[in-house]
Amino acid sequence: MLDEIAQPGFDVNKLSVWNKVRLVRECGGLLIDILEGETIEGVLDLGYCVSLTHLPRHFAVHGYLDLRGCVSLVCLSANLTISGFINLANCTSFICIPKNMTIDGHAYIYKCTSMTTLPVGLHVTRDLALEGCTALTHLPADLRVDGCLYLDGCTSLTCIPKTIMVGGKIDLPRHLT
pLDDT at residue 1 greater than cutoff 80: no
Domain presence at residue 18: no
| Residue 90: inside a domain | yes
Number of domains in the chain: 1
4 belongs to a structural domain: no
pLDDT value at position 166? Answer: 98
Q: Once rounded to an integer, what is the mean pLDDT over residues 71-94?
A: 96
| Average pLDDT score over residue span 11-33 | 92
What number is the average pLDDT over the span 159-164? 95
* 127 in any annotated domain: yes
Q: Which of 124, 74, 118, 126 is nearest to 99 (CA)?
A: 118
Q: What is the mean pLDDT of the chain?
A: 94
6 is a domain residue: no
- The values of phi and psi at residue 12, to 5°, are -65, -25
Q: Are 48 and 73 in contact (CB under 8 A)?
A: no
155 is a domain residue = yes
Residue 14, domain member (yes or no): no
Which distant-in-sequence residues (6+ apart) come within 8 Å of 11 by Cβ? none
Domain ranges, residue 156? 38-176
Question: Given the DSSP bridges, would you call strands 123-124 and 79-87 parallel, antiparallel or unpaired?
Answer: unpaired
pLDDT digits (tens, 9 = 90+) for 51-70: 999 999 999 999 999 999 99
In a domain, 118, yes or no: yes
- Higher-confidence residue of 7 and 162: namely 162
CB-side exposure of 148: number of CA atoms within 13 Å?
Answer: 10
Q: What is the reported pLDDT for 2?
A: 59
